[in-house]
Amino acid sequence: MKEELSILIQAQYPLIYLVTSEEERTEQAIATIAQLRPQRRIYIWTVTHGIVEYGQPRNVNQHNTISPEAAIEWTIRQKDSSIFIFKDLHPFIDSPATTRWLRDAIASFKGTQKTIILMSPMQQIPIELEKEVVVLDFPLPDLTELNQVLDRQLEKNRGRRLTTEAREKLLKAALGLTRDEAEKVYRKAQVTAEQLTEKEVDIVLSEKKQLIRRNGILEFIEEDETIDAVGGLEELKRWLKQRSNAFTERAREYGLPQPKGMLILGVPGCGKSLIAKTTSRLWGLPLLRLDMGRVYDGSMVGRSEANLRNALKTAESISPAILFIDELDKSFAGTSGSSDSDGGTSSRIFGSFLTWMQEKTSPVFVMATANRVERLPGEFLRKGRFDELFFVDLPTADERKEIFNIHLLKRKRDITRFDLEQLAKVADGFSGAEIEQALVAAMYEAFAQDREFTQLDIIAAIKATLPLSKTMTEQVTALRDWARQRARPAASSVAEYQRMEF
Ligand SMILES: Nc1ncnc2c1ncn2[C@@H]1O[C@H](COP(=O)(O)OP(=O)(O)O)[C@@H](O)[C@H]1O
Ligand SMILES: [Mg+2]
C-alpha cells in the first residue's frame, strides 16, 4: 500500500483520498515517501490550525487558511514539489465552493509535483470529483510492523527476551488492531504480567475482543457447544468436518484452494445458526458476526459504506477467520426491488459486499444463513459465489429422535426413562427449536408441581404446540420445492429418502 501511494505520488496524481483513522502512522508513511526524489515538502491542513508545514511549530492560522476554500486556493499558489494533506475535509467537501476549488487545484496541478491527499476515517466524495480522485485504504499494520511495535515495547523493559514461538503468537494475537491499539495492549500485557511471555497472548486476545466489541459492527462469538450438539444434518456436518484443516499451510502445499464460504438456507429453527456457531470450534478459527443492521447508518452519506469497509478490513486482518452473517435475507431485503426507500444505500452496500466476496484473497470464510430465498438477491445464489449452498429441512423422525436425545442429555436426564421413538413420532413436523421448546415447557409444568417431568409431560407439551410447519405450510413447502432443485440437502440422502415418504 505504501508502495502504491508512492507510485501515485511519483506519477503526479493530483488528488488522492486515503481512508484511515490512524493519522500519525499514515503521516509517517507519507513523510518517508516525501524523502524520495524529487524531495517534497509536506503541508498539513486541519480546520483548527489551517495550513502548517509538517514538522514545524503548529501556529494557529498563520497563513489565513482555516477555511477549506482559502486553504485549497493557497495550495494552488505554492511552488512545485509539495504534498498537501487535508485532515478530515469530509464534512466540508460537499460544499459547492470546496468542490470547485478542488477541481481548480487538480487542473492547476497538471504537470507539477504537487499532490493533495485527503485523509479521513470515512470516504466521502462528491460526484464532481469521483473521476478525478484515487481512493486508497490505509491497511492495518501487518506482522512486520507489529514486530517493530513489540520490539520497541521490549526495549523499554531491558532484558526481556521472547522465544520465537511466543513472539509469533503475540504478533498474531494483535493482528486486526491499529498501531496505537497494539501498543496499548502490549503495554497493558506487560504491566499486568511480570514478564512478556506466551501467557500474555491471552491478555492481548481479550483486549482485542474488547476493542472489536467497541467497534459495534463485528462481534466475537464464543460458542460453548460443539458440532455434536446439532442433531441430524449429517451431510452438512461431513462437509464441515472434511474442511477442518482447510486453512492450514499444509492444505496450500497440497494444492487445495481456500474455501470461500457457504450459504445455509432453510426452515427456521432447524439449527442453521447453531451449526454455524459450532464451526468455529471445529475449525479452530475465530467467529466474527457481522451485524448488517448496524452497518446501516443514515446519519451521513457514505457512513454505511465506511462501516462495512472497516468491518471487512478488520475481519481480514484477523484472518484466518469465519465471518458469520446470520439471516442474510433480512440484511439485504429490498435490494433487488426498484422501490428503494433509502436512496440506494442498501443496493450500494450489497454491491460492495459482493465485490469484496469476489475479490477477497485473505482466508475469511463467509458463513451465511437465510430463512427465505425469495427475499435474497439472486446474485447470492449464482454458482461460484459460495462453495456450497445447503438446504436444512425439517428433521426426519430419526433426526428428531437424535434431537430429543441431545436436549435430554444436555439437561442431564437419564434417556432410558424416555421412549424417544414415540416422542419423535408425536413431534412430526416439528423443528429442532420447537422440540427444545416443548421439552422446556414440559419441565416447567412438572417443576411447578414440584416433581420430575415424564414422557407424558413432553407429549402433552408437543400436543399443545402448533408447529410453524403447520401455521406456515405454504412458505415451508415453497422453500422446500425451491431448494430441492438448487441446493444440497444438509441431511443425509437416506434421510431425504425417508422424508419423501411421509
Ligand atoms: N438440529 C438441531 N439439533 C439440536 N438442537 C437444535 C437443532 N435445531 C434447532 N435446535 C435448537 O433450537 C435452537 C434454535 O435453532 P437455530 O440454530 O437458531 O435455528 P435457525 O437458525 O435454523 O433458525 C438451537 O439453539 C438449538 O437449541
Ligand atoms: Mg437462525
75 and 38 belong to one structural domain: yes
194 and 237 belong to one structural domain: no
Is residue 315 a part of any domain in this protein? Answer: yes
- What pLDDT does residue 420 have? 96
pLDDT tier at 215, thresholds 50, 70, 90:
low
The mean pLDDT value for 57-61 works out to 84
- What pLDDT does residue 498 have? 55
- What pLDDT does residue 155 have? 81
- What pLDDT does residue 418 have? 96
Please say whether the beta carbons of 89 and 68 come within 8 A: yes
Count how many domains the chain has.
4
The percent of residues in the chain predicted with pLDDT above 90, rounded, is 45
**Can you tell me the distance from the alpha carbon of 341 to that of 459, in angstroms, rounded to the nearest whole number?**
48
What atom of ligand 1 comes closest to residue 230's alpha carbon? Answer: 3
235 and 356 belong to one structural domain: yes
pLDDT tier at 341, thresholds 50, 70, 90:
low
- Which ligand sits closest to the CA of 265? 1
247 and 147 belong to one structural domain: no
- Strand positions, DSSP E, 243-363: 261-266, 287-290, 321-325
What atom of ligand 1 comes closest to residue 266's alpha carbon? Answer: 22
384 and 371 belong to one structural domain: yes
Q: Is the pLDDT of residue 495 over 70?
A: no
Of 155, 186, 215, which closes a domain?
Answer: 215
Q: What is the pLDDT of residues 375-395, one digit of tens each?
A: 787 778 877 789 999 999 999
Domain that holds residue 450: 397-428+432-466
Identify the residue whose cell numbers are 414440559.
442
Residue 345: CA atoms inside 13 Å, Cβ hemisphere, count? 20
**Can you tell me the distance from the alpha carbon of 170 to that of 201, in angstroms, rounded to the nearest whole number?**
5
pLDDT tier at 338, thresholds 50, 70, 90:
very low
pLDDT tier at 72, thresholds 50, 70, 90:
very high
Q: What are phi and psi of 361, to 5 degrees?
A: -115, -15
129 and 171 belong to one structural domain: no
If we measure between CA atoms, which residue out of 463, 458, 460 comes closest to residue 418?
458
The mean pLDDT value for 17-31 works out to 90
pLDDT tier at 47, thresholds 50, 70, 90:
very high
163 and 39 belong to one structural domain: no
pLDDT tier at 399, thresholds 50, 70, 90:
very high
Identify the residue whose cell numbers are 431485503.
333
For the residues of 391-448, what is the DSSP string, one character each?
EE----HHHHHHHHHHHHHHTT--GGGS-HHHHHHHTTT--HHHHHHHHHHHHHHHHH
**Can you tell me the distance from the alpha carbon of 427 to that of 434, in angstroms, rounded to the nearest whole number?**
9
Q: What is the pLDDT of residues 251-261, one digit of tens each?
A: 888 999 989 99
pLDDT tier at 337, thresholds 50, 70, 90:
very low
384 and 418 belong to one structural domain: no
Is 400 exposed, middle or buried (CB count within 10 Å of its CB: 0-12, 13-18, 19+)? buried
CA nearest ligand 1 atom 19, residue? 269
**Can you tell me the distance from the alpha carbon of 402 to that of 451, in angstroms, rounded to the nearest whole number?**
25
Is residue 474 a part of any domain in this protein? Answer: no
Three cell numbers written together for 245: 484443516
Which helix (DSSP H) or strand (DSSP E) does residue 471 occupy? helix 468-471
- Which ligand sits closest to the CA of 267? 1
36 and 157 belong to one structural domain: no
Three cell numbers written together for 469: 410447519
Residues with C-beta less than 6 Å from any ligand 1 atom: 230-233, 268-274, 369, 403, 406, 432-433, 436
Is residue 245 a part of any domain in this protein? Answer: yes
What atom of ligand 1 comes closest to residue 399's alpha carbon? Answer: 1
CATH classification at residue 459: 1.10.8
What atom of ligand 1 comes closest to residue 274's alpha carbon? Answer: 17
CA 106 distance to own-chain centroid: 36
pLDDT higher at 185 or 499: 185
Q: Is the pLDDT of residue 340 over 70?
A: no
pLDDT tier at 501, thresholds 50, 70, 90:
very low
Is residue 69 a part of any domain in this protein? Answer: yes
3-state SS assignment for residue 334: coil
Of 185, 215, 245, which closes a domain?
Answer: 215
Q: What is the pLDDT of residues 292-335, one digit of tens each?
A: 888 887 766 677 888 888 888 888 877 788 999 999 888 776 55
Identify the residue whose cell numbers are 487542473.
107
483-502: b (≥16 Cβ within 10 Å) or e: beeebebbbbeebbeebeee
Q: Is the pLDDT of residue 487 over 80?
A: yes
Cα(272) to centroid of ligand 1, in Å? 7
Three cell numbers written together for 386: 459460495
**Can you tell me the distance from the alpha carbon of 431 to that of 436, in angstroms, rounded to the nearest whole number?**
9
- What pLDDT does residue 383 have? 72
Is residue 492 a part of any domain in this protein? Answer: no
Is residue 483 a part of any domain in this protein? Answer: no
The mean pLDDT value for 434-459 works out to 96
The mean pLDDT value for 193-204 works out to 69
- What pLDDT does residue 123 have? 81
The mean pLDDT value for 370-378 works out to 82
If we measure between CA atoms, which residue out of 129, 37, 43, 104 comes closest to residue 78?
43
Q: What are phi and psi of 220, to 5 degrees?
A: -75, 125
If we measure between CA atoms, which residue out of 217, 314, 324, 316 comes closest to residue 278?
324
With the most atoms of ligand 1 within 8 angstroms of its CB, the residue from 274, 393, 420, 475 to mutate is: 274
- Which ligand sits closest to the CA of 327? 2
Q: What is the pLDDT of residues 98-137, one digit of tens each?
A: 999 999 999 999 889 999 999 998 888 888 898 889 988 8
Pairing, β 41-46 against β 82-87: parallel
The mean pLDDT value for 32-48 works out to 91
**Can you tell me the distance from the alpha carbon of 113 to that of 121, in angstroms, rounded to the nearest whole number?**
26
pLDDT higher at 496 or 2: 2
384 and 257 belong to one structural domain: yes
Q: Is 384 left (phi over 0), alpha (psi -120 to 50) or beta?
A: left
With the most atoms of ligand 1 within 8 angstroms of its CB, the residue from 287, 393, 436 to mutate is: 436
- What pLDDT does residue 372 have? 85
The percent of residues in the chain predicted with pLDDT above 70, rounded, is 92
Is residue 494 a part of any domain in this protein? Answer: no
CATH classification at residue 28: 3.40.50.300
Q: Is the pLDDT of residue 196 over 70?
A: no
167 and 241 belong to one structural domain: no
Pairing, β 287-290 against β 218-221: antiparallel
Please state, rounded to an integer, the average pLDDT across all residues of the chain: 86
Q: What is the pLDDT of residues 134-178, one digit of tens each?
A: 988 887 888 888 999 988 888 877 656 777 777 877 887 788 788
Of 121, 137, 153, which closes a domain?
Answer: 137
Which of 241-250, 327-336, 402-411 is least confident?
A: 327-336
409 and 323 belong to one structural domain: no
Is residue 488 a part of any domain in this protein? Answer: no
- What pLDDT does residue 497 have? 53
Which of 5-9, 206-210, 354-358 is least confident?
A: 206-210
CA nearest ligand 1 atom 12, residue? 433
Pairing, β 50-53 against β 41-46: antiparallel
Q: Is the pLDDT of residue 56 over 60?
A: yes
Cα(435) to centroid of ligand 1, in Å? 9
